[in-house]
Amino acid sequence: DQQVKQNSPSLSVQEGRISILNCDYTNSMFDYFLWYKKYPAEGPTFLISISSIKDKNEDGRFTVFLNKSAKHLSLHIVPSQPGDSAVYFCAALSPSGTYKYIFGTGTRLKVLA
Amino acid sequence: SAVISQKPSRDICQRGTSLTIQCQVDSQVTMMFWYRQQPGQSLTLIATANQGSEATYESGFVIDKFPISRPNLTFSTLTVSNMSPEDSSIYLCSVEGTFGEQYFGPGTRLTVT
């Protein structure tokens, strides 16, 4: 049972345009979400996070939006750059009290020059 | 953020053998985490390792198969025992950052033949 889902395995975007990566979750008790970026042969790198008390968090070109009623979050990258080409994972912190993050399967973003 | 290194970066092993993966952090940390990413799958937490105590394993993972050592606050090892092709994965260690985000090592790509 996949509690965190990234339904788009891949996405291609033209350089300079907006990239929108989506993530859905099933457990309404999740209250902290993160996005990670992963380049080949490297570990995931933390990008941005959002707490359930917010609906938006912005850091430079990266903005994460959280829609709790829809159990949906999205990562917007504006403007997209070729260096943003990577696999992006969303993750949710399990409410079980442990430090357990539940990850989605990832979306491979390709930014075309 | 922490700098994390892992050894080996990759290995090809025969079924029935064991491999020990090392994880070194450049600062002292209370908890270290071990994840597995099977091909095409999300990252899955194997266990949490605290210094001086037994590791805590997630559902579906057992100590006999994945023994973990945590001899000090900067180092941990994960052993994949009696390997089968189904153990072919990327294994990652991580530590927690100040705001709950996790920092990952570069991963160990294991192929079992």
pLDDT the model gives residue A97: 61
Using a CB-CB distance cutoff of 8 angstroms, which residues of chain B are in contact with residue A49? Answer: 99-101
pLDDT the model gives residue B53: 82
Which domains, ranges and CATH numbers included, belong to chain A? 4-112 (2.60.40.10)
SS3 state at B9: coil
Radius of gyration of chain B (CA): 13
Q: What is the DSSP letter of A62?
A: E
Total residues found in chain B within this entry? 113
Average pLDDT over all residues of chain B: 93
Residue A58 has pLDDT above 90, yes or no: yes
Q: What is the DSSP letter of A60?
A: T
Sequence-distant (6+) residues with CB within 8 A of A40 are: none
What number of H helices and E strands is found in chain A? Answer: 0, 11
Contact yes or no for A98 and B4 at CB 8 A: no
Cα B93 from chain centroid (whole Å): 5
pLDDT the model gives residue B96: 87
Residue B86 CB burial class (10 angstroms; 0-12, 13-18, ≥19): exposed
Residue A99 has pLDDT above 70, yes or no: no
Residue B14 has pLDDT above 90, yes or no: yes
Contact yes or no for A93 and B104 at CB 8 A: no
pLDDT the model gives residue A41: 84
Alpha-carbon span B55 to B77, nearest angstrom: 11
The chain B residues in contact with chain A (CB within 8 A) are 1, 4, 9, 31, 33, 40-45, 48, 56, 58, 92, 94, 96-97, 99-107
Nearest CA distance, B41 vs chain A (angstrom): 5
Average of per-residue pLDDT across B3-20: 96
Q: pLDDT band for position A36 (50/70/90)?
A: very high
**Which CATH architecture group holds B17-99?**
Sandwich (2.60)
Q: pLDDT band for position B97 (50/70/90)?
A: confident
Cβ-Cβ contacts under 8 Å between A and B: the total is 55
- Per-domain boundaries in chain B: 17-99
Q: Which residues on neighbouring strands pair with residue A23, listed in sequence order?
A: A73
Using a CB-CB distance cutoff of 8 angstroms, which residues of chain B are in contact with residue A102? Answer: 42
Contact yes or no for B42 and A101 at CB 8 A: no
Using a CB-CB distance cutoff of 8 angstroms, which residues of chain B are in contact with residue A106? Answer: 42
Give the residue, A41 or B93, on which the prediction is more confident: B93
pLDDT the model gives residue B98: 80
Q: Are B77 and B21 in contact (CB under 8 A)?
A: yes
Residue B95 has pLDDT above 80, yes or no: yes
Q: How many CA atoms lie within 13 A of B70 on its CB side?
A: 22
